[in-house]
Amino acid sequence: MHKAQLIAVDMDGTFLNNEMDYDRRQFADLYPKMRAQGIQFVVASGNQYYQLRSFFAGYPDIIFLSENGGLVRDAQRTYFQSTYTPDVARKVAQVLTALPAVEWLAAGVNGAYVLRSSSDAFITDARDYYHRLQLIDRFDEIDDDIVKFSSHCPAHETAAYVARYHEQLAGFAVPTSSGHGDIDIIQPGIHKARGLAELGAQLDIPLQNMVTFGNGGNDIEMLQEAGLGVAMRNSPQDVLDVADAVTTDNNHSGVLTYIADHILTANT
């Protein structure tokens, strides 16, 4: 591991505690120290850019790798963007719509879109993660470039639906599950490591000089490909297996503690 030039953190289950917050006082102390050492702080999540930005008012230099790497931007600049072609997006929507037990939304560059016929519970949950959310009656109403789809199925059938998506979407979309019935439908080859590589190319920061933190299946690529991949202690075994190091869990500021104890000291 060379000197860290970039730190990328997943949010849910990693940087955020179970109350969907973080130690803001500790972060306020560490952030200027990171910047003083030339470290770029990046939020790398499957969530929407506008939702992620809401956690960091007052930190204009943070870059947000949103939608699992499909959209990388800050308030002024888009570093990388990859979207479905309209035909492929329509095909994914048709597959999802044909499954009665599945609810879904389409995540675009400018907002997210959910069917008005969806359950109140699904719409309410979606608003927590997609701060720009529009209700639609049918997919063809959307006037936006689609980055990914998020779907929800009965929790006990998650594995079966992942297998079904693999079969029905083969060649043009890839399912990735975070468990509990939540399955994202992402573009082939688009994941957090790809987004970091594209960002790194523009910032002249190689993956080898990046430190990544994560706890879920959609973090595996960036944990593997970064110079140092750190898993949370609350991660499942397949994530722990690919990590270079393990820190304490998300409810004990595992990310910030590791940065303070290992990254900032190593950079001095």
pLDDT digits (tens, 9 = 90+) for 191-239: 999 999 999 999 999 999 999 999 998 999 999 999 999 999 999 999 9
- Integer Cα distance of 22 and 17 in angstroms: 6
Q: Which domains does the chain have, with CATH numbers?
A: 6-81+190-267 (3.40.50.1000), 86-186 (3.30.1240.10)
Place of tokens 């990590």: 243
pLDDT in tens, 136-188: 999 999 999 999 999 999 999 999 999 999 999 999 999 988 778 999 999 99
pLDDT value of residue 177: 84
Please identify every residue annotated as catalytic: 10
pLDDT of 266 > 90? The answer is no
Taking alpha carbons only, the member of 170, 17, 191 closest to residue 88 is 170
